[in-house]
Amino acid sequence: MSGKFITLEGIEGSGKSTSLETIQSFLESRDIQYITTKEPGGGPIGKELRSMLLNKESKISSEVELLLMMADRRNHLDNIVLPSLEKGTWVISDRYLDSTYAYQGGGRGIDISKIDNLVNLLNIPLPHLTLLFDLSPVIALERAKNRSELDRFEQEPLVFHGRIRDEYLRLSELHQERIKIVDSSLNFDEVESQVKETLSNFLDEE
Ligand code: TMP
């Protein structure tokens, strides 16, 4: 049996990483073999790409940023994601393709059709399930600021993060079967139970 590919998405500080533990405990309780990974930076060339992409000193245009994200993704797929899925191991990735639509499309303003072309060129598959952690950028950025020093994306103004959220919400309308929204404005227990319920529904449908 091939494994399932689940991705976590949302703006900075939306709580996706916090929910990773909930997801891990859920999968363990069902005896499901899984790995966790992330983008950018999940593949063998990812460490260097991630530091180029997040470093505030990097002088890269939006188009170069897009190409680096996509190169990182194909390398991640070839070396980590697809071999795991073929073995029947589930893959949980903190960010994936929807981040490119949201950040480079929504945030940077690159034409969505250009991203679609790259997706076709590189033959990028869609995940089976995506949890979209949705939160107002005002609250999310406050959280991100309190966490650590801001990276190249986090230091962008509020409107940038607002456009990213809007694009995520547009994607969730477009792919209602795959993208499930988690309301991150609720308290921890409520977020946790939404995550568990989403996973449980997903398993029931399999
Ligand atoms: P994070 O791993 O701490 O969330 O940081 C990764 C940053 O990279 C985050 O700001 C979102 C951004 N990003 C994109 O702009 N496009 C992408 O395709 C991906 C995967 C991430």
Closest of 94, 162, 100, 163 to residue 132, by C-alpha = 94
Residue whose CA is at the smallest distance from ligand 1 atom 16: 100
**Distance from Cα 27 to the centre of ligand 1, integer Å:** 25
Q: Number of structural domains, the chain?
A: 1
**Distance from Cα 97 to the centre of ligand 1, integer Å:** 10
Q: What's the CATH code of the domain at 25? A: 3.40.50.300
| pLDDT computed for residue 30 by the predictor | 96
Any ligand 1 atom below 6 A from CB of 38: yes
- Reported pTM: 0.96
| pLDDT computed for residue 101 by the predictor | 98
Ligand 1 atom with the shortest distance to the CA of 96: 20
Torsion of CA 42, 47, 152, 163, to 10 degrees: -20
Q: What is the pLDDT along the chain (206 residues), one digit of tens a residue?
A: 589 999 999 999 999 989 999 999 999 999 999 999 999 999 999 999 999 999 999 999 999 999 999 999 999 999 999 999 999 999 999 999 999 999 999 999 999 999 999 999 999 999 999 999 999 999 998 888 888 788 899 889 999 999 999 999 999 999 999 999 999 999 999 999 999 999 999 999 87
Contact 37, 78 (CB under 8 A): no
Any ligand 1 atom below 6 A from CB of 100: yes
Any ligand 1 atom below 6 A from CB of 103: yes
| pLDDT computed for residue 24 by the predictor | 97
| pLDDT computed for residue 105 by the predictor | 98
Residue reference for tokens 């060339």: 45
| pLDDT computed for residue 111 by the predictor | 97
| pLDDT computed for residue 187 by the predictor | 93
| pLDDT computed for residue 99 by the predictor | 98
Which residue range is the domain that position 153 belongs to? 5-205
Closest of 171, 176, 134, 137 to residue 153, by C-alpha = 137
- The answer for residues whose C-beta is within 8 angstroms of residue 153's C-beta and 6 or more apart is 12, 54, 103, 107
Residue whose CA is at the smallest distance from ligand 1 atom 6: 40
| pLDDT computed for residue 165 by the predictor | 97
What is the spatial distance between Cα 11 and Cα 9, in angstroms, rounded to a whole number?
A: 7
